[in-house]
Amino acid sequence: MLRGQPLWERILAVPTDEREAWVDALLGLPEAPPDEELPRGGVPYLPAGVDDILTALEGAPVEEHDGFVDVGSGLGRVVLLAHLLTGARAHGIEVQTHLVRKAREIATRLGLSGVSFHRADASDVVLEGSVFFFYSPLTGQALRSTLFSLQNLAERQPIVVCAVGVEFKSEPWLAARPKTSASVSFYDAGPKVK
């Protein structure tokens, strides 16, 4: 069985230095192909670490009723694990067409109807969901536009932002949680969050 707590326990049973390869083999993820179509402000594809993903899913915490969104989803490692480990609807936004195509193929092969991948520049998308995962996917104006979209969403509903490799200290609308992880930062935002 791939879904749920047994998978979480299986992943944690794998030695830390072997987890990336083990998870990729389990999911059938290929080696990352060369980058294509990177817009201004885009960052080359590098998959998020499995331990960072687990930290984000647990710390958010992501639950079955959530809408989980990975901004810059690449081949889909984060989206696939988020859905398999929590049952949440999981969606990836990725600008590189070849990565989206491959991520969709993998999700179809695994029979996962609760995941989707959208080929788009995240800075041009109206974001919807409740938990957002950032692994340094954007810089400059593209990042500012994406955060503006999230801020607009947070004016209507509570959201959680999980950030790996980037901090949003200069965003007053995001309430930073106390650091519990060296690599993953958590932020809360919403109509009642101060």
User: Residue 176's domain is classified under what CATH number?
Assistant: 3.40.50.150
SS3 174: coil
Residue 85, number of CB atoms within 10 A of its CB: 21
d(CA 181, CA 71): 20
Helix-strand-coil percent breakdown of the chain, rounded to 5? 40, 20, 45
At which residue do the structure tokens 């030695």 appear?
A: 15
Q: How many domains does the chain have?
A: 1
d(CA 148, CA 126): 10
Identify whether 24 is part of a domain: yes
pTM: 0.93
pLDDT, one tens digit for every residue, the chain (194 residues):
455 569 999 999 999 999 999 999 999 999 887 777 777 767 778 889 999 999 999 999 999 999 999 999 999 999 999 999 999 999 999 999 999 999 999 999 999 999 999 999 888 999 999 999 999 778 888 889 999 999 999 999 999 999 998 889 899 999 999 988 999 999 999 987 75
Identify whether 141 is part of a domain: yes
